[in-house]
Amino acid sequence: MRWKKTLTMVEAHAEGEVGRIVTSVVNDIPGETMLEKMNYINQVDDSLRRFLVFEPRGYAQMSTNLIFEPIHKKADIGFLILQGDKAHAMSGSNSICLVTVLLETGRIEMSEPETIVTLDTPAGLVRAVASCKNGKCERVTLDMTPSYADQLDRIIEVEGLGEVKVDIAFGGIFYALIDPAQFDLKILPENARQLVSIGTRIHRAVNSQLDIRHPKLEDLKGISYTMFVGHDPDGVMKGATILPPGRIDRSPCGTGNSARLAVMEARGQVEVGQSLKARSIIDSEFQVEIVAKKTIAGKSGILPRVSGRGWIHGIHQVGIDPSDPYPLGYKVSDCWGDAFDLLSK
């Protein structure tokens, strides 16, 4: 074996959504902040993302997380989320995977019954409180980044669908929230392909028709994902986040539910301190709540909290032989979905 690059990763999942953690600290991505480092990957050189995320070293149904020495003096560690389309600013499920891996592998010392880990992300600091017992990280509770409803009840024109109503909200990244009843669909595993097809079409339309930008973080603009939002028959919130180029988040989605809580609060549908369950398309659950109200550059917003569980399920290495013809990997629409136009160029 004559690999010229070798990386070790720990695989974990948070309520069903896989988040791989590269165990070595990344030192060669320029940037004075985590946001600048994310922008460097997305705008200058995304070869590491492609190497790790795409086949044959990666696969569609997962994210890969890079760890960094923290830039913010109050943080314990920095991290970036790499997905099929680009690097992202924040993810609740990946934060849960990261904290679980850091504590259970001894990268950060575990204290029982609680360990506090502060994450440096492009969207800001995220405080994670891990509930620990007998060497196991049993649950991670995240104080998410300030979130807000940006545009409510917007009507957009979508190819093949006509007029569609969406809510635009920020939960660490921007979302278009969609009621699937508009298409006579429910959030069920057997409807996943239809939800993905509709979600990616709405994604294109939203970013071409609406002006969406964060009032303080200028580089955060346009939606990253669409999310279908509904309820199960027992009244519990249910959601399905569509990730380009065409898959569904297996977890309930931390940033998506932060955005959803912001919209619900703007409509008077939830109160501060009210704890709610949020289910995924595979019926896994997060606990979510609003900790407090928060003004964000003049916009009325919230401080959301998300809680879920993570499990380590694998450790492996990836590398590349100098003669390998696929150093940047490849993707095929049978597994990845066909919305390749939504990927970073």
Residue 21 reports pLDDT greater than 80: yes
Q: What are the extents of the domains in the chain? A: 5-143+311-342, 147-306
| Integer Cα distance of 342 and 312 in angstroms | 31
Residue 33 has what DSSP assignment? S
What is the mean predicted confidence (pLDDT) over 29-55? 96
253 tagged catalytic: yes
Q: How does DSSP assign 251-275, residue by residue?
A: S--HHHHHHHHHHHHHTT-S-TT--
To the nearest whole percent, how much of the chain has pLDDT over 90?
A: 92
Q: What is the pLDDT of residue 1?
A: 77
Is residue 39 very low, low, confident or very high in pLDDT (cuts 50, 70, 90)?
Answer: very high
Mean per-residue pLDDT over the chain, rounded: 96
- Whole-angstrom CA distances from 257 to 7, 176, 219, 250, 278 are 32, 12, 22, 13, 8
pLDDT, tens digit, for every residue of 80-111? 999 999 999 999 999 999 999 999 999 999 99
pLDDT, tens digit, for every residue of 103-160? 999 999 999 999 999 999 999 999 999 999 999 999 999 999 999 999 999 999 999 9
What is the mean predicted confidence (pLDDT) over 167-181? 97
pLDDT, tens digit, for every residue of 229-287? 999 999 999 999 999 999 999 999 999 999 999 999 999 999 999 999 999 999 999 99
What is the mean predicted confidence (pLDDT) over 286-294? 97
Residue 196 reports pLDDT greater than 60: yes
Is residue 345 very low, low, confident or very high in pLDDT (cuts 50, 70, 90)?
Answer: low
Q: Determine the topology of domain 147-306 in CATH.
A: Diaminopimelate Epimerase; Chain A, domain 1 (3.10.310)
Q: Determine the topology of domain 5-143+311-342 in CATH.
A: Diaminopimelate Epimerase; Chain A, domain 1 (3.10.310)
Which of 91, 93, 95, 147 is flagged as catalytic?
91
Same fold, 5-143+311-342 and 147-306: yes
Residue 24 reports pLDDT greater than 60: yes
284 tagged catalytic: no
Cite the DSSP H helix spans in 44-109: 47-53, 92-104
| Integer Cα distance of 149 and 295 in angstroms | 11
pLDDT, tens digit, for every residue of 228-241? 999 999 999 999 99
Which of 253, 280, 284, 307 is flagged as catalytic?
253
Is residue 219 very low, low, confident or very high in pLDDT (cuts 50, 70, 90)?
Answer: confident
| Integer Cα distance of 228 and 226 in angstroms | 7
Cite the DSSP H helix spans in the chain: 34-43, 47-53, 92-104, 192-209, 254-266, 333-336
- Whole-angstrom CA distances from 75 to 72, 78, 121, 203, 225 are 6, 7, 9, 33, 27
